[in-house]
Structure 1
Amino acid sequence: MPEIMEVNSPVGFYAERLHKLQSKTKKISQKIGLFSWLRLVSFLLMAGMFYLFTASTDTIYLIASGMFFILLVGLIVSHQKLYTQREHFLLLSEINQNENDVLSGGTSIFDTGKAYISQLPFADDLDLFGEFSLFHYVNRCTTGYGKDLFAESLLHTPTEINRIQNLQMAIRQMSEKTDFNQEVMVALLGVYRRKDFKEFVISDEEPMWFFKQYYYKIAAYVLPLLVIASFIYYLTSGNISLFLLNGSVAFLTAFAQAKKMALLSEEMSGFSHAFHAYYKVLEKFESQDVSGEILTEMKKVAAEAKNGFKQLAKISEWFDRRANILWYALGNLFFMHDLHLAFGYEKWKYKYHSKIEDWLITTGRLEMLISYGVFRFNHPDFVTPTLSSDPELFASDLGHPLIPSSKRVSNTVHLQIDPRLVLVTGSNMSGKSTWLRTLGVNVLLAQAGAPVCANAFRWKPMPVLSSLRQSDSLHENTSLFMNELKQLKAILDRAASAEPCLILLDEVLRGTNSEDKYTGSYALIHRLTQYNSLIVMASHDLKLSLLEKQLNGKVVNHCFESKIENGQLLFDYTIRKGIAANRNATWLMQDMGIIKKDDTSV
């Protein structure tokens, strides 16, 4: 039997909404087809009436033709609105389908964050970026500023308690605004997917000012008066010489500013759709009922920014129209349009240039908070973490947020001082590495203000330091082993400060021989236990477990187990106290035919 979806569940909610949107889209498509026929009929009637007028000179046919022309214009306008509505509903449908796809383990239509992998100091230990990463799963940002801020929220999570509490409040509110969140995504996706779209990026250069001199103002107002007056004179007297003289002066004046206008056009041309989208998004946001320090401050910025973006969208649109030769010629001949456009843009820059970056950041921050808000809405079973003043990490039924609930195995953990170092042993594929990533990812989510995959979660905010996977570097000409040593050195340097850290280590020093590895790991554990940090270290080396008795309560052993039953290797992925008793590497090699059973005899 097919699984029954509860409407109150996120999957059921999106499925119901998708069904309604598809129904609306179908009705609009039917209207579009009807209006296409009505336009054709109106055009034929208009043309027929005009033909009858030319044949009979009866004004009644001319009037009828004019009425059908007006009807045709109205139908064209309404038809275009229907196309716009359908596109809107199609994007909404795509967004709701995307949410269901993501919740079902599929891929998201939003950016994977692959470009941010290079910003990590070492390897992507916690799978933060790339396809099926945490960024890819949570991200609902479209703008460059939004994606940058969202990536920043994972790369450098805050540790200040007040900041995290404010983020929690903001994310909780955004999780309750599903309609608004999706309207923002539609507004930005619709624009960013245009073939002619260009994203506006703040230039590091100082703004250019070309038209401050007073004589430009004189030319902008006097020349149009002279040209229009001489044109009227030409119409009444038939003498065109004065009009040609004044028109030539106007054209030469406009052409003389072509280079300056080209530089201004580089700043503004092609961005009208982006500015209009930012205006619509911030206008919608300003109408939202919000509270708390973060959203209230953003709303204040949005009140000014929406008007600034609205004006800038119009200015950018006028710059785009300069490409029309007829408009360029007539506009500059009769109105000195280029000068007035430059005045308007430079006036806007004088008033708002220093603020536009803050506006773009506010738009991006809104996208970031929407991303976390959608994540919170999609996971009502996740919990909002509780902050602690003591260096600890307690979580009940903690799981990895990217593993579907049907496959997820949760565990309870309490890291504290002391014991400050948890040594995790276990066989291959038993769950050690996933457990380390589970700890790291959930702490990052908690410090970003988001909910975590647990029934209860209490922690002191702290930097997350990890060495879980290594890669060599052709650019730096370093081997895997040397790269790992550099990573461990960076971790120790950071942990040496008074600030507690969460340190996650997986099978350190794997690039050397077993004796050297044991000696180095033994010394590393001794040093780590001198720091005021919480450490979880996974290892296959069972001899290290003896440190639990040697280091006076600073080390505790935990393990993951596996077992072989009826010729099958089984895992329960449950962490427990103690030392791993089972091994599986040799059995796996035999099972896969890599070696024979007789080969294992020494």
Structure 2
Amino acid sequence: MNKALSFYEEKILKYKANIEKLNYIISKLSILRLLIVGVAIILSYYFYKRENIISLIMSLILLFIIFIIIAYYHNIKINEKKEYEVYININRKGISRIKGEFKENEDKGEEFLKDEHPFVSDLDIFGRNSLFQMINSTKTKFGRSKLFKMLTLESIPTRDEILKKQDAIKELGSKVEWRQSLEVKSTLKKSGTKDIDELLKWAKSKNEIKPLFKIIPYLFIVITVMSVVLVILNVLPISYLILMFMINYLVVKILTKDLIPIIKLFDKHKKDIEAYTNLLMLIDNENFESIFLKDLKLKLKNNSKSCVKEMKELKKLVDWLGDSSSNAYYLLLNITILSDIFILRNLEEWRKINGDKLKKWLDIMGEFEALSSISNLSFDFENWSYAKIVDEDIVEAVDIGHPMLGERAVVNSFTLTSNEKVALITGSNMSGKSTFLRTIGLNLLLSYIGAPSCSKSFTCGIFSIYTCMRTKDNLEESISSFYAEILRIKILIEAAKKGEKVFFLLDEIFKGTNSKDRHEGAKVLINQLVNNKALGLVSTHDLELCDLEKTKIWLKNYNFQEYYEKNNIKFDYKLRIGKSKTQNAVHLMKLAGIDFSDN
């Protein structure tokens, strides 16, 4: 059995057993809390009837303390249960990845779909049944953004960068429990992937601390302390102290008139800050061996100052702000030591020191999240191989399969070199041509981001991937599917002419025109791409195009076939050398009810 599958199943059983134990404890604690309330009511009635007020008060205080302790312990157990439930969900998602049954995962990354991107839509990078849906375990906006940039190849990596990423992915793949902790902490505390630009805007803006903030609080604290002493000594009446508190409250409100929007800002992002602090703490406490991860973690320190310590300070200030708007004891602090002024001043000092670093810290945190998502593949598919990256224009695969098909994937071996620049793939409908094109494209992408490829071995050069597979009408722009295809081909040709090392995947090109134009256009396009040093795969139903192999030494024909059992069409999805010699269109038409005997 797959090692990862065993791990996930064992963890699920373990966490379910822990939840059963916790359910027992939680139910007993709930009953105990009710009993304490009942005892408090009975004792209150008993001592009240006997006019024993002291015993009534003492018993209520004692029971209240016991109730608070039990309630605190009760909440701890409830939170433990929630944590185990998240762990179970994470491990279930791992099983669904391995089996290729991840279509129900809620986060599909549909907002990242871009038809104009060179390959995103054609290779199913985002959306339903996509690579993103399969691997994503990010829970913060920054993690999602970093994963988006990685999966879209925002910049073409160098060989050295890919090799460093491979080491990082291998290491994170082995740290499965740490990666799951990263996901759990962000899931439990994070309030969503909402926009936090306003928080970052606050961090970047600068406000000088007013001199009044440095002098007035201490002056009024001294006056307040002296007033309390004088009232205790009966030098001043208590009404003077009350007046002093009222003045303090007024001073606080005047000096902190800007605090209300700040309270609202941090109240909105309190859970975010707590989640970010927890994630950065996990990263800071973990030891990494790979160069890439070490360097990434090192960026979280500034002059040996840990960002975790600074984030904890921000969290404390945010917690105080939350108390300021809801707790009675905080009001007492406010009118005696003018606490709001100190909080506002401390926030300004924190912002002055760390404000311009916050975005950098969160981006690095997001990169760890994104890398952890990609590392799911490393752990889940132990038989997959890491690509050998070479300086040659080559794609060579042994037993390569579609990464998202799980146990259903059919593997094939395939080679494309600088001598054989184009693979022309023919075959009947539904035989596997388009899936094979996506298989090659997806495994190239996985290799470039440092992930393992779905293959026994995979060797490739570094290319810019361009596809033209799915084109559709755009009624708003008055663009037909054929013209949309032309526009994508134009982008591909321009990239090749500019000197990019292009790897192209073309599926049934120029299908929106007549057979003669389609044949001639495909022939000219393939020649033009090869002349501009591009490599790639072309699938087609145009069998005449296969004749190019006779005159073009750089083109090789491949095909997929179908077979029949008891008049039922079957496919083995195995790639064969040579052009297709089978057709199934008429058979499929007959299945649709078209009767050829009428003619």
TM-score, normalised to structure 2, is 0.92
Query: Which residue does the alignment assign to 1:367?
Result: 369
| Preserved CA contact (<8 Å) 1:272 1:314 | no
2:212 to 205, 211, 215: 215
Query: Which residue does the alignment assign to 2:359?
Result: 357
Please give the secondary structure, in 2, of the residue aligned with 1:140. Answer: coil
Query: Which residue does the alignment assign to 1:572?
Result: 572
| Preserved CA contact (<8 Å) 1:270 1:320 | no
Query: Which residue does the alignment assign to 1:88?
Result: 83
Query: Which residue does the alignment assign to 1:340?
Result: 342
Please give the secondary structure, in 2, of the residue aligned with 1:355. Answer: helix
Moved more, 258-267 or 382-391: 258-267
Deviations 1:319-342 (A, max 9, x none): 333332746754432222222111
Query: Is 1:200 the equivalent of 2:196?
Result: yes
| Preserved CA contact (<8 Å) 1:275 1:310 | no
Cα deviation, residue 206, structure 1: 7.8
The 5-angstrom pairing of residues 298-309 of structure 1 reads 298-302=296-300, 304-309=306-311
Alpha-carbon separation, structure 2, partners of 1:93 and 1:121: 36
Query: Which residue does the alignment assign to 2:263?
Result: 265
1:388 to 387, 390, 403: 390
For structure 1, the 5+ residue unaligned runs are: 1-5
| Preserved CA contact (<8 Å) 1:110 1:139 | no
Deviations 1:400-447 (A, max 9, x none): 011122x22111011111121111111111111001000000100011
Structure 2 vs 1, CA of residues 377 and 207 (structure 1 numbering), >3 Å: closer, same or farther? closer
| Preserved CA contact (<8 Å) 2:191 2:272 | no
Structure 2 vs 1, CA of residues 329 and 198 (structure 1 numbering), >3 Å: closer, same or farther? farther
Cα deviation, residue 155, structure 1: 0.4
Cα deviation, residue 47, structure 1: 5.1
Cα deviation, residue 49, structure 1: 5.0
Alpha-carbon separation, structure 2, partners of 1:299 and 1:147: 19
Alpha-carbon separation, structure 1, partners of 2:257 and 2:31: 49
Deviations 1:302-326 (A, max 9, x none): 4622122211212222233333274
Query: Which residue does the alignment assign to 1:3?
Result: none
Structure 2 vs 1, CA of residues 205 and 43 (structure 1 numbering), >3 Å: closer, same or farther? closer
| Preserved CA contact (<8 Å) 1:322 1:328 | yes
Alpha-carbon separation, structure 2, partners of 1:57 and 1:408: 80
2:25 to 31, 34, 37: 31
| Preserved CA contact (<8 Å) 1:278 1:306 | no
Please give the secondary structure, in 2, of the residue aligned with 1:396. Answer: strand
The one-letter code sitting in structure 2 at the alignment partner of 1:131 is: R
Query: Which residue does the alignment assign to 1:132?
Result: 129
Alpha-carbon separation, structure 2, partners of 1:264 and 1:125: 45
TM-score, normalised to structure 1, is 0.91
Structure 2 vs 1, CA of residues 208 and 555 (structure 1 numbering), >3 Å: closer, same or farther? closer
Query: Is 1:12 the equivalent of 2:14?
Result: no
| Preserved CA contact (<8 Å) 2:200 2:359 | no
Cα deviation, residue 498, structure 1: 3.6
The one-letter code sitting in structure 1 at the alignment partner of 2:213 is: Y
Moved more, 317-326 or 11-20: 317-326
1:284 to 282, 285, 297: 282
Alpha-carbon separation, structure 1, partners of 2:200 and 2:313: 19
Cα deviation, residue 361, structure 1: 0.9
| Preserved CA contact (<8 Å) 1:423 1:539 | yes
| Preserved CA contact (<8 Å) 2:496 2:534 | yes
Please give the secondary structure, in 1, of the residue aligned with 2:424. Answer: strand
| Preserved CA contact (<8 Å) 2:505 2:538 | yes
Give the total of aligned pairs: 589
Query: Which residue does the alignment assign to 1:598?
Result: 597
| Preserved CA contact (<8 Å) 1:270 1:317 | no
| Preserved CA contact (<8 Å) 1:559 1:578 | yes
Alpha-carbon separation, structure 2, partners of 1:60 and 1:331: 31
Moved more, 542-551 or 269-278: 269-278
Cα deviation, residue 209, structure 1: 4.0
Query: Which residue does the alignment assign to 1:520?
Result: 521
- Greater RCO, CA 8 A, separation 6+: 2
Structure 2 vs 1, CA of residues 167 and 120 (structure 1 numbering), >3 Å: closer, same or farther? farther
| Preserved CA contact (<8 Å) 2:15 2:87 | yes
Query: Which residue does the alignment assign to 2:558?
Result: 558
Please give the secondary structure, in 1, of the residue aligned with 2:379. Answer: helix
Moved more, 249-258 or 352-361: 249-258
Alpha-carbon separation, structure 1, partners of 2:225 and 2:329: 16
The one-letter code sitting in structure 2 at the alignment partner of 1:200 is: I
The one-letter code sitting in structure 2 at the alignment partner of 1:175 is: G
Deviations 1:482-503 (A, max 9, x none): 2111111111111224442211
The one-letter code sitting in structure 2 at the alignment partner of 1:298 is: L
Please give the secondary structure, in 2, of the residue aligned with 1:478. Answer: coil
Please give the secondary structure, in 1, of the residue aligned with 2:467. Answer: strand
Alpha-carbon separation, structure 2, partners of 1:109 and 1:408: 20
Deviations 1:374-406 (A, max 9, x none): 22111111111111121101100110011122x
The one-letter code sitting in structure 2 at the alignment partner of 1:340 is: F
| Preserved CA contact (<8 Å) 1:422 1:556 | yes
Query: Which residue does the alignment assign to 2:92?
Result: 97
The one-letter code sitting in structure 2 at the alignment partner of 1:151 is: F
2:16 to 4, 12, 22: 22
Moved more, 317-326 or 283-292: 317-326
Cα deviation, residue 67, structure 1: 4.5
What fraction of aligned residue pairs are identical, expressed as a percent? 25
Deviations 1:333-388 (A, max 9, x none): 22222221111111111111111111111111111111111221111111111111
| Preserved CA contact (<8 Å) 1:110 1:142 | no
Alpha-carbon separation, structure 2, partners of 1:275 and 1:113: 23
Query: Which residue does the alignment assign to 1:422?
Result: 423
Query: Which residue does the alignment assign to 2:143?
Result: 146
Alpha-carbon separation, structure 2, partners of 1:87 and 1:562: 51
Moved more, 17-26 or 510-519: 510-519
Cα deviation, residue 234, structure 1: 4.2
The 5-angstrom pairing of residues 350-499 of structure 1 reads 350-405=352-407, 407-499=408-500
Moved more, 209-218 or 480-489: 209-218
Query: Which residue does the alignment assign to 2:111?
Result: 115
Please give the secondary structure, in 1, of the residue aligned with 2:6. Answer: helix
| Preserved CA contact (<8 Å) 1:467 1:484 | yes
| Preserved CA contact (<8 Å) 2:324 2:331 | no
| Preserved CA contact (<8 Å) 2:465 2:502 | yes
Alpha-carbon separation, structure 1, partners of 2:583 and 2:72: 73
What is the aligned-residue RMSD (CA, Å)? 2.5
For structure 2, the 5+ residue unaligned runs are: none
Alpha-carbon separation, structure 2, partners of 1:253 and 1:149: 46
Alpha-carbon separation, structure 2, partners of 1:274 and 1:206: 14
Structure 2 vs 1, CA of residues 174 and 73 (structure 1 numbering), >3 Å: closer, same or farther? same
Please give the secondary structure, in 2, of the residue aligned with 1:476. Answer: coil
Structure 2 vs 1, CA of residues 518 and 14 (structure 1 numbering), >3 Å: closer, same or farther? same
Structure 2 vs 1, CA of residues 387 and 93 (structure 1 numbering), >3 Å: closer, same or farther? same
The one-letter code sitting in structure 1 at the alignment partner of 2:371 is: L
Alpha-carbon separation, structure 1, partners of 2:194 and 2:422: 51
The one-letter code sitting in structure 2 at the alignment partner of 1:184 is: L
Please give the secondary structure, in 2, of the residue aligned with 1:564. Answer: strand
Query: Which residue does the alignment assign to 2:68?
Result: 73
Alpha-carbon separation, structure 1, partners of 2:527 and 2:105: 47
Query: Which residue does the alignment assign to 1:181?
Result: 179
The one-letter code sitting in structure 1 at the alignment partner of 2:361 is: W
Alpha-carbon separation, structure 1, partners of 2:139 and 2:295: 22
Moved more, 71-80 or 316-325: 316-325
| Preserved CA contact (<8 Å) 1:562 1:571 | yes
Query: Which residue does the alignment assign to 1:297?
Result: 295
